[in-house]
Amino acid sequence: MINPGAYLFQKINGPENGFLGNNFIYKEPRLIQPTNWIPPDWFFYLILVCLILVAFIQIFFPRRFRMIIRTAFSWSYSNQLSREGNIFKERISVVLMAVNLITMSALIYILFAVFTNLDDYFTSFRLYLYILVLASLYWGFKFLTTSILGDIFNNKTQSGEIQLSNLLINIFTGLTILLFLMPILYSNTRIFLYTTLFFMLIILIIKILRGFIIGLSQPKFSVLHLFLYLCTLEILPLLLIMKAVYDFSKNL
């Protein structure tokens, strides 16, 4: 006789059933490993830290904050933003990029946790820290590489514009992810996760198009520089993340 306590019924993990998959297929029971994901408690503190950082910016730098958001939507404000100071050296940029790194790393962690069993090999917070460190190294490498390519191809001005555009779009991306994190984590549906990924795709397309516009607007801008930048620093990392999620998902 089969001991019901030793078995689990196979769950339907479709997006309409949420992370907890509350529907079952009742058939011959077999021993399986649960694949549904419950967010760890420390996610609450990540969100709380990000909200505090955004509140700090809104209280002490409200005008600059509004200007950054406007420029992320409309590049016509970029000259005014640059005239008022070096945005790369301002505290507001450091704080908002910290929000971007925290939230982007959280989204990548959620993708691995939901669609793979990678967290079987690491504790949840340690895995998140690894992703956070790699994301920080990637942004630093990307900024440095863009500067080096600008020196090599003698396009320093255009490289600076691309760096500014990326900074502003990254800031907006971090705020967008923060807006969706609570519904992603604590609602009983995956629709918010898929919606966030859809928005990330749109933002990536906007970033690539803006890079093309900045590059092609200057007759002396090297097309090879633009091609290397977009393929190596924008498209390739996304493909690597997708490949990693797909490879690990096969181990479920």
Output the tens digit of pLDDT for each of the chain's 252 residues. Answer: 444 443 333 333 444 444 334 443 444 444 334 446 788 999 999 999 999 999 999 999 999 999 998 888 787 777 778 777 788 888 999 999 999 999 999 999 998 888 887 767 778 899 999 999 999 998 888 888 888 877 877 778 778 888 898 899 999 999 999 999 999 998 888 899 999 999 998 988 888 888 778 777 766 666 676 676 677 777 777 777 777 777 766 655
Residue 129 identity: L
Instruction: Enter the pTM of the model.
Output: 0.77
- The answer on 129 and 90 residing in a single domain is yes
Secondary structure percentages of the chain, helix, strand, coil, to 5: 75, 0, 25
- The answer on 18 and 46 residing in a single domain is no
- The answer on 92 and 1 residing in a single domain is no
Reduced to 3 states, what is the DSSP secondary structure of residue 11?
Answer: strand
Alpha-carbon gap, residue 204 to 241, rounded angstroms: 14
- The answer on 48 and 30 residing in a single domain is no
Give strand ranges (E) for the chain.
none
- The answer on 14 and 135 residing in a single domain is no
Reduced to 3 states, what is the DSSP secondary structure of residue 42?
Answer: helix
Contact (Cβ atoms closer than 8 angstroms) between residue 35 and residue 13: yes
DSSP letter, residue 2 = -
Helix axis angle for 91-115 and 124-152, nearest 10°, is: 130
Runs of H (alpha helix) within 31-123 = 42-60, 62-73, 78-83, 91-115
Expressed in angstroms, the distance from the first to the final Cα of the chain is 28
- The answer on 26 and 87 residing in a single domain is no
Q: Residue 102: which domain range?
A: 40-249
Counting the structural domains of the chain, the total is 2
